[in-house]
Amino acid sequence: MSIHMTIKGALFGLAALGLASAAEADQLADIKAAGKIVTATDMHYAPFDMLNNGTYEGMTKDLFDAVAKEIGVEPVYQDIPWTAELPGLEVKKFDIVIAPVTITPERLERYTFTLPIADATVSLVKAANNSELTKPEDIKGKTVGVQQGTAQFKQLEAYGQKLGDVTIKEYGTTDEAYADLAAGRLDAVAGSLPNLTYLVKNRAETFALFTPAQFGEPKYFAWVLRKDADSDGFAKAINDALLKMTADGRVKAIQEKWLGTYAELPREVPAN
């Protein structure tokens, strides 16, 4: 055998090994082997994610506890600032982002989304004693707070440009925005309808929804995985669990526990 043929054969073998390794890469198999799913969320986003005397709770946790059980592994929950979550996912610091992320066309190009877990349509809340603001267009000439880096921010920005003369103030967390609204430093806060409904339900003496509260196109929250072939089986396992939980009533029970109502959700990932 010539040296040329030996080198050629060795190179072919290495290439084949590389292709085999790529074909065998499977995030779900790795997760099952480890016995855990490492997650990231922002634990300051009631009612989905909250810290109650240092204990993590909320709608997201109830849903994901059940999903992880269906898959047969333990969830590991991490409190990560929202702005660091998607970048951290991309460099594989964790397996999945379970902070509710609004599905958008831009994000669909970059990430794999699970089935929706809740409505995410952007809405407005004001101080309970504010009779000047009623409908969404009344924010013209006003200052509105919103969490930075969110789809709700982008929708508020577009709506503000349409109305003209709307000052937008960005916050690291929704809790900070609510505090400034309660203190009179803001005229309103924009956020998803479930978050604001929960806020008003628990602090009706301080906050009130606009009428109507919603002003954007219908949107949905979901969880986010990396967009690669390795994640396909993992995404399917999560979606299968969510569909099973929808069919047996667990999703409805969890929604009603945290939101006070049930909204039927799409059984496919929306295209926008």
> Looking at residues 197-205, what average pLDDT do you find?
93
Mean pLDDT, all residues of the chain = 90
Question: What CATH number labels 26-119+220-259?
Answer: 3.40.190.10
Given this model, what pLDDT does residue 261 score?
84
* pLDDT tens digits for range 69-117: 999 999 999 999 999 999 999 999 999 999 999 999 999 999 999 999 9
Residue 150 in tokens: 């969110």
**Over 60: is that where the pLDDT of 3 sits?**
no
Q: pLDDT of 25-66, one tens digit each?
A: 799 999 999 999 999 999 999 899 999 999 999 999 999 999
Structure tokens at 221: 């929250």
Distances (CA, A) of 13 to 17, 20, 26, 53, 269: 6, 10, 22, 57, 40
For the entire predicted model, the pTM comes to: 0.78
Instruction: Provide the b/e sequence for 170-194 (b: ≥16 CB within 10 Å).
Output: ebebbebbbeebeeeebbbbbbbbb
Average pLDDT over residues 167-171: 97
* pLDDT reported for residue 55: 97
Q: Distance between CA atoms of 9 and 38, rounded to whole angstroms? A: 41
Give the phi and the psi of residue 180 in degrees, each rounded to 5.
-70, -35
**173 residue type, one letter:** T
CA 107-111-115 angle, to 5 degrees, is 90
Q: What average pLDDT does the segment 188-211 reach?
A: 94
Domains in the chain: boundaries: 26-119+220-259, 122-214
Q: Let me know if the fold of 26-119+220-259 is the same as that of 122-214.
A: yes
> What pLDDT band is residue 12 in, cutting at 50, 70 and 90?
very low
Distance spanning both ends of the chain, measured CA to CA: 59
Between residues 165 and 272, the one the model is more confident about = 165
Phi-psi region of 60 (alpha: psi -120 to 50; beta: other; left: phi over 0): alpha
Average pLDDT over residues 151-178: 95
Confidence bin at 14 (pLDDT 50/70/90) = very low
Q: How much is the pLDDT for 51? A: 95
Which CATH architecture best describes the domain 122-214?
A: 3-Layer(aba) Sandwich (3.40)
**Tokens 């992880």 correspond to what residue?**
68
Q: Of 115, 119, 151, which is closest to residue 259 (Cα–Cα)?
A: 119
Structure tokens given for 107:
């994000």
* Residue 260 confidence (pLDDT): 84
The pLDDT value given to residue 213: 94
**Per-residue DSSP letter, 72:** T
pLDDT at 25 (0 to 100): 72
| Among the listed residues 206, 178, 188, 209, the one whose alpha carbon sits nearest the alpha carbon of residue 141 | 188
Checking phi first, is residue 224 left (phi over 0); if not, alpha (psi -120 to 50) or beta? beta
41: DSSP letter: B
**Cis upstream peptide for 75 (omega within 30°):** no
Q: What is the pLDDT of residue 18?
A: 44
pLDDT digits (tens, 9 = 90+) for 208-267: 999 999 998 889 999 999 999 899 999 999 999 999 999 999 999 999 999 888 889 999
